[in-house]
Structure 1
Amino acid sequence: MEDERKYSFQTGERNTFGIVDYVLFGLLLCVSASIGLFYAIKDRKKQNVKDFLLAGGNMSAIPVALSLLASFMSAITLLGTPAEMYNFTTIYYWIGLGYFFTIGAAAHIYIPVFYRLRVTSAYQYLEMRFGSATRSLISIVYVIQMVLYMSIVLYAPSLAMNAVTGFTLWGSVWAVGLVCIFYTTIGGMKAVLWTDTFQVGVMLAGLITILIQGSIEVGGFAKAWQISYDSGRIVFDDFNPDPIVRHSVWSCVFGGAITWLAVYGANQAQIQRAITCPTLRKAQMAYWFNFPGLCVILYLCCFIGTVAYAFYRTCDPKTFGLINASDQLLPLFVMDVLGKMPGIPGIFVSCIFSGALSTLSSGLNSIAAVLLEDVVKVFCVADISEQRATNASKLIALVAGFICLGLTYVASMLGGVLQAALALFGMLGGPILGVFTLGILFPWANQKGALTAVSSGVIFMLWIGVGYQVHKPPVAPFSATSLVGCNWNLTRDMSDTNFTEPLVEIVTNATATEYSTWDPFVRLYSLSYLWYSATAMLYVICVGLIVSFATGKTDPKSVDPRLMCPIFDVFLPFLPEKVRKPLRFGVDYSKTKEETTEADREEMEVFVDKTGNSNGKPS
C-alpha cells in the first residue's frame, strides 16, 4: 500500500522541480522564441514600420482578442488573485462586473476615435487636440509607467519560480527577459500577437489543472466553498461607500472599472492591438471577445484561492514559515497538490511565465511605437526612411527590455504584486486616461487646461502614493488563519518545555472605520488603490475645464469631430434627434463615419504628419 501523502506543512519541506518540469518550462521558452524567429524570417523582405508595429493592419479579431487578454492578465493576476482570496474575502469577485463597464466604454468611446485617426501612437491624438507639449509629456509618463510595470511583471513569476524550485531568482529574471526581448525585437507585432495566443492557451491549461486537482485534494470545490463560508470569507454585500475601504462593491465595480479603463481605453499597448484589425467593427469585436476571457481567468484564480484556503485551513504557510510573502502561496500550493505528478509543476510555471512573457512583449512593442513616433520623428529625424524607422523600433525595444531587467530589483521591494501593479496604473495611468477623456468628451477644453491638469494631476497622484508609503495607514484586516495542523516539532526548540502550539492566529489590524479620521491628508493617503484612477481622471477633467474656461475655452464648432466622441449618440441612440442634438454641444459629427473610407485615411495620414494646433485642425 502506498504511503500516506505528506504535505509541506507536515514535513516542513517544499517539493522541487524534476527533469520533466524543466523540459516543459524550457519548451515554453523555445516555442515563444520560435514564433518570433518564424515571423522574422517570413516577413524579412516586406517588413516595414507598419508590419513591425501594427502587424500590417490586417489581423483577425480572435488573435487580437487573445493578445488583449494576455497583455495585462499577467503573472500579477495569476499570483495575486489567489492570495487575495486566501487573505481576505470574496468581495473582489465584483471586479468582474467592472470589466463589463470597462470594455463597453473602451470599445465604443475611445477606440473609435483612435481607429478613425489611424495613428501608430495614441499620443499623436494629443498633439492634434492639445498641442505638442501635452503629447510629449504624456509619452514620457507612459514610458515610465510601462517600464516600471513590466519590471513588476518580470519579477512576479521569477519569485514564483524561486519559491517552488529553488532556481535562482535573478537567473530566471534574466532567462525569461532575454527570451522575450529576442522574439519581440526580431518578430514585431505579429510575433507578439501569436505568442500571446499560444500563451493564453498555456495559462488556461495550467489554471484548470490546478483547480481540478486542488479540488480533488480537499474533497471537492463545494466543500472548499463551505469551509470558506464557515470562516467568514464569503462576503458579497459590503456596500460601504467610504473610499478608504480597501475593497467594497463600489470600489471593485466602479473603481476597478476605471482602473482597467486606463488600460483598455488609454494605454498604447491595447490601442495598438486594436488598430491591427482591418476595420473598426472587428476591433470592437476583439474587445468584446476579450471580456469573457477576462472573467474566466479572474474567476479561475479566485476559485483556486478558495481551494487553497481549504487546503491550508489548519496551517497558515506564511505564519509557519514555509513562504515569505503571500504571492508565493500559489506556487507552494501547486507543489503540494501536484508535486508528485511529473511535468504538472512545469505546466504551472509555464502558465505563470506565459502571463509575464505576453505582458512584457506587448509593453516593449508599445514603447517602441511611442518613442519612435513621439520622440525620434518629432525631435530627431522627421523624414526617416522605412528601413531606418524599423531598425530604430527594434533598437528601442531592445534597450527598453534591458532597462526593465535592471529595474526588476526595484520591483522586488514593492510588496504585494497585485496591489502594487494596480496602484501604479492608478498613479500614472489615471492622469493619462483623464487627459484623453477631457479631449474626447469635452469640446471646450483647450491646450492650457489640458497641460495644466495632467501635469499637476501626475504630481497629485504621486503625492498620494508617496504619502501612503510614508504614513503607512493600517491595512484591512486579514481573515483568521488556523495553525492547529502545523508540525511545530520541525520549527521549535525541542529543549523548550514551555512551548505551546498556537491554536489560531487572527490578524487584528484596525478596520477602516476604526482608524479613519476627518483629517483630509490622512484620508487622502488612506485612499483605496482601486480609486486611484478614478481620482486622477476626475482631477484632470475638473482642473482642465476650470483652466480652459478661465483662459478662453475652445469653440466646439471649431473642433475636428474626428477627435471627439458623440457619447449620447453612442449609448442613447433611441432618444429623439431634438434631444440628442443639443447634447452634441455644437460639435458637427455629420462628417464622421463609423468606417473610415480610403480617401479619409489618406487625408488623415497627411493630417497626422503635420503639427496640429490646440483646436484639432491641421496647420
Structure 2
Amino acid sequence: MGDEYSFQTGEKRELGILDYVLFSLLFVASALIGFYHAYKDRKNTNIEDFHLGGKKMHPIPVSLSLAATFMSALTIIGTPAEVYTFGTMFYWIVCGMFIATIGTAHVFLPVFYRTNKISCFVYLELRFGTLVRVFACVLFLLQTLLYMGFVLYAPSLAFQAVTGLSLWGSLIGVASVCTLYTMLGGMKTVLWTDSLQIVVMIIGLLALLIEGTSATGGITKAWEIAKEHGRIEFGNVSPDPRTRHTVWSVGIGGGIFWSYLYGINQAQVQRECSLPTLRKSQMAVWLNFPALVLINTLVCLIGVVMFAFYNTCDPIKYGLVSKNDQLVPLMVLDVLGNIPGLSGIFMACVFSGSLSSISSGLSAMSAVLLEDFIKRFCTKSLTRRKELILTKFIIIIIGFTMFGISILISQAGGMIIQLSYTLYSLISGPLLGCFVGGMLFPWTNKYGAVCGLATSLTIMCWLGFGAVFDGPPGTLPLPVHTDGCYRTNSSLLTTTSISNMQTSAILHNVTTPTTVENEVEPLVYDFYRISYQWYTGLGMLINLITSLIVSIFTGRTNRATLNDTLISPLFFKLSSCLPRSKRTKGTIKLNGNTQSKKESVEYIENENNGYVKENAF
C-alpha cells in the first residue's frame, strides 16, 4: 500500500483496506449503472435515445451532470493549490459562472434546442456551410481528446506520488470503467453516474474541509492565518489585462470562458437538449449554478485551510512533495489519515471528477464523429441499429486513444502537459466567436466565418505558445515558510523538484519564478503577459472583428434571406430598439433554398403549453 510521512510528526501515513474498498465502490457503482441502462434499453435502437436520452430526462439529474462535467479532478486538486499559492482572487470565478449561466440559458440554448440536432456543429453548416463545420469539429475533437488525456493522467500522477496508488492501475481503471459504462448506457448512464459522482465529490470535499478546520483550530482561525500571510484578497480591480487575476479578468474573462464550456461545448449542449422542453432545459442550466457555487466555495475554503495547516512548513519548499498539485493528496493523508475510510472517500471524490469529465468527452466525441463526419461524408443509409453499434464502437476507439494520449503525457512529461492545457484555452475563443458571430450578427457570411476562425486561431496560438516557450517569467507566488517543520535539517529544492514545479505551474498557467535581470525586454513580452483568463475573450473578439470586416468586403449576408431560427432571441430583443423600418424579418429561406418552417426547425417552446409549431419572432 502507498505510504507518506506526516510533515508534523514524521509518522508514516498509510491507505488502509477500507480506503481502497470505498474507493473501488465508486467504480463498481458506476459500472452497475451502465449495465442497468444497457439491460433496460436492450431493445431500443434509437440513436437519439442513446445520445440525448430520448429527450425525456428530468432537470435535476441533468443539472447535476452539468455541474459535474467540468468540475473535474483538476478543479478539486488545482483550485486549493491555486488559493494556497496565489490567494483567493480566483473565487471571483463564481461571478463568471453566473454570466455564463445567463448566456447559456437565454442566448445559445434556444437556438440549439430549436435546431433539434444531436451535434451542435450542424448549426455551423446551416449558417455558414460545410467548411466552417468541419474546421470547428476538428478543433473540438483535438481539444477534447487532449483534455481527456490530461484529466486522466494528472490526478493519477498526483495520488501516485503522495499515496503510492498505482499509476497504471488508476489509469487503466478509470479509462476502462468510464469507457464501459458510457458505451453501455449512453446519455442516460452518463447523467446518472454524473449525479452519483457529484454527490461523492461534495461529500469528499466536506470531509476534508471539516477535518481540516478542526486541525487548524476552526475556520475563523484558518482565515486569520491566511489573511495575515496575504492569501485573502478580493479587491484587485486593476484594469491592466496583464495582471493575472483581477475582478475583471476572473469575473468577466472567466465568464466568457465558461460561456464557451456551457453555451457551445458539445458535451454540455447534449445534456441541455436531453430534456422534453426548452423551459425545462433552461431550468436545468439555472439549477446547475448553485452546485457550481457550492463546489467552488468548498475548494477555495480548502485552499485557505490548507495554507493555515501548512503555513509554518511548506511541503514543496521543505521537499515532502515536489509539485503543488500534490498538496491536496498530502493534506488528505495528514488530516484524514487517522480516520479509516475517509482517505478512500476523498480519493473517490477526486476520481469522480475524472470520471464525469471523461464520460462527457466520450459521449460528445462519439456524437460529433457520427453526425458530422460518418453520416455527413461516408454514408447516410445506416439503419438505426447500425448507427447504435457504430456509436458504441467509436466510444471504445476513443477510450483506447485517450488512454494512449495519457501514456504519451506520462512519457513526455511537462512539455505535453503544457501543450495540451494551452491548446484547450486557445481553441475556446475562436470556436466561441464562430457561434456568437452566427447567432448575434446576422450579417456575417461564410467567408467571414472561415477567415475569422483561422485568424483568431493563428493569433491565439502565437500568444499561447509564445508565452509558454518564449515569454517572460510569470507571476511570483506568495511567500511560504519552513520554520515549523518537525525536522531540523530543512531540505532545499533539488533540480528534480524545480523541474516538477515547472510542470505543475502549467495547471495555473504561470511560469516558474526566476530572477529577472535588468535588461530591456522585447515589446512582445507585454502581449505575452496577458492574463490567461482573457484568452477566450480575446480569441472571440478577434474572430468577430475579422469575420465582420471580411463579410462587409465580400458581401454581407442579406438579413431577409436568413432563417430567423438560426439567430438568437437576444438579437431580436436588441433590434427592437431600432426604428421599425430597420426591423427586417427573416424569411424561410436557408442557404438560398426555400424550405418550410417544419423542415428547417420542427418545434419551439411555447411558454404555456410545451410544444407548438415554430412561429416567427
Inter-CA distance 601–148: structure 2 relative to 1 (3 Å threshold): farther
SS in 2 for 1:368: helix
Aligned to 2:601: 604
Instruction: Check conservation: 1:123, 1:374, Cα contact below 8 A.
Output: yes
Matched, 1:278 2:276: yes
1:244 CA displacement: 1.7
1:524 maps to 2:527: yes
**Matched residue type, 2:86:** F
Q: Quote the residue 1:360 is aligned against.
A: 358
Change (3 A) 1:14 1:584: farther
Q: Is the 8 A contact 1:444 1:556 kept in 2?
A: yes
AA in 1 matched with 2:539:
A
Say if 1:259 and 1:430, in contact at 8 Å, map to a contact too: yes
What displacement does 1:472 show? 3.8
- Which residue does the alignment assign to 1:244? 242
CA distance in 1, matches of 2:298, 2:422: 23
User: Residues 602, 445 of structure 1: CA spacing in aligned structure 2 closer, same or farther, 3 A cutoff?
Assistant: closer
Distance 1:418 1:220 in 2: 37
SS of match in other structure, 1:482: coil
Structure 2 unpaired stretches of 5+? 493-510, 590-595, 604-617
Answer with 212-221 or 150-159: which moved more: 150-159
Distance 1:415 1:212 in 2: 34
- Cα offsets for 1:184-219 (capped at 9, x unmatched): 111111000000000010000000111111000000
Counterpart code for 2:299: C
Q: Is 1:463 equivalent to 2:466 in the alignment? A: no
State the match for 2:606 in structure 1.
Answer: none
1:288-437 alignment runs, 5 A limit:
288-412=286-410, 423-437=422-436
Residue 388 of structure 1: how far off its partner (Å): 0.9
Distance in 2 (alpha carbons) for counterparts of 1:519 and 1:603: 53
Deviation, structure 1 residue 243: 1.4
- How far the C-alpha of 1:410 sits from its partner, in A, is 4.6
- CA shift, 1:487, in A, is 2.9
* Contact map agreement 2:561 2:588 (CA 8 A) in 1: no
CA RMSD in angstroms comes to 2.8
Post-superposition Cα deviations, 1:57-80, rounded to whole Å, max 9, x if no partner, equal 110111110010011011011011
Report deviation, 1:588.
3.7
Kept after mapping to 2: 8 A contact 1:327/1:417 = no
What aligned pairs does 1:124-163 form with structure 2 within 5 A after superposition? 124-163=122-161
Residue matched to 1:535: 538
Q: 1:522 and 1:306 mapped to 2: Cα distance?
A: 32
Measure, in 2, the Cα distance between the counterparts of 1:219 and 1:228: 13
- The residue aligned with 2:193 is 195
- 1:260 corresponding residue in structure 2: 258
1: CA distance, partners of 2:561 / 2:518: 51
Asked if the contact 2:318–2:491 (Cα under 8 Å) also holds between the matched residues in 1, the reply is: no
Partners of 2:417 and 2:533 in 1: CA distance: 11
State the partner residue of 1:497.
none
Shift of 1:13: 6.0
Whether the aligned pair in 2 keeps the contact of 1:180 and 1:357 (CA below 8 Å) is yes
Q: Any conservation in 2 of the 1:199–1:355 contact (CA below 8 Å)?
A: yes
SS at match of 1:244: coil
Query: Unaligned 5+ residue runs, structure 1?
Result: 1-5, 494-506, 592-598, 607-619
Displacement of 1:580 in angstroms is 4.9
1:558 maps to 561
Rounded Cα–Cα distance in structure 2 between residues aligned with 1:75 and 1:417: 18
Change (3 A) 1:155 1:583: farther
- Normalising by structure 1, what TM-score? 0.88
Task: Decide whether aligned partners of structure 1 residues 490 and 393 sit closer, same or farther in structure 2, where only a CA change above 3 A counts.
Answer: farther
What's the offset of the Cα at 1:419? Answer: 9.3
Q: For the Cα contact (< 8 Å) 2:409–2:417, is it kept in 1?
A: no
Instruction: Give the deviation of 1:157 after TM superposition.
Output: 2.1
For 2:518 and 2:599, the matched residues in 1 are separated by: 59
* Partners of 1:492 and 1:262 in 2: CA distance: 44
Q: Which amino acid aligns with 1:202?
A: V
The separation in 2 between residues aligned to 1:28 and 1:390, in whole angstroms, is 27
**What SS does structure 2 have at the residue aligned with 1:15?**
strand
Q: Counterpart amino acid of 2:42?
A: R
Percent identical among aligned pairs is 45
In the alignment, what sits opposite 1:611? none
With 41-50 and 122-131 compared, the bigger mean Cα shift is at 41-50
Question: What are the superposed Cα offsets for residues 538-597 of structure 1, whole Å, 9 maximum, x if unpaired?
Answer: 010000001111111111111111000132555x7xx9x5x2566986344999xxxxxx
Shift in Å, 1:165: 2.3
SS in structure 1 at match of 2:232: coil
Q: Does 1:35 align with 2:38?
A: no
Instruction: Go from structure 1 to structure 2 and tell me whether the alpha carbon gap of 1:113 and 1:480 turns closer, same or farther (over 3 Å shift).
Output: same
Secondary structure of the equivalent of 1:128? Answer: helix
Q: Distance in 2 between matches of 1:70 and 1:307?
A: 24
The residue that corresponds to 1:204 in the other structure is: 202
* TM alignment of 1:75-86, pairs within 5 A: 75-86=73-84
Q: Which segment is superposed worse, 473-482 or 538-547? A: 473-482
Match of 1:48 in 2: 46
- Is this contact kept in 1: 2:201–2:349, CA < 8 A? yes
